[in-house]
Amino acid sequence: MSNEKSSKRTWIRILQIVGLVLVLWAAITLISGFLLVDVGPDVEGRTYRFEDAEIFGYPIPGYGTIAWIGGVIGVVLLIAQYFLGKSSKS
């Protein structure tokens, strides 16, 4: 029984860490994207691909879209670990 609780706590901790990393990564990406959205390409023609693009007719998500998706997944993981942690205490 004790081993099961320890294993469950480990998984809850992993969910918490992964969720926090995703939320922080999304926040940093979105903030930097909003700051660099009006910045033109550098001397070599590279741009900060924050917005969605299309290459050969295929939609390619930009960093902004990926960050929103990652942030939502991170928040869902944090909510899940909260409720799992709450149920493991009882």
Please, which pLDDT band fits residue 79 given cuts at 50, 70 and 90? very high
Bridge partners, 53 (sequence order): 60
Report which secondary-structure segment, H or E, holds 45: none
Q: What is the mean pLDDT of residues 8-17?
A: 88
Report the alpha-carbon distance of residue 82 to residue 61 in Å, rounded.
Answer: 30
Threshold 0.75, pTM exceeds: no
Domain that holds residue 80: 14-38+48-89
What is the number of domains present in the chain? 1
- Condensed to tens digits (0 to 9), the pLDDT of residues 17-72 reads 999 999 998 888 888 777 766 655 555 665 556 666 676 777 767 777 888 888 99
Question: Does the residue 79 lie in any domain?
Answer: yes
Report the alpha-carbon distance of residue 71 to residue 46 in Å, rounded.
Answer: 26
Question: Does the residue 62 lie in any domain?
Answer: yes
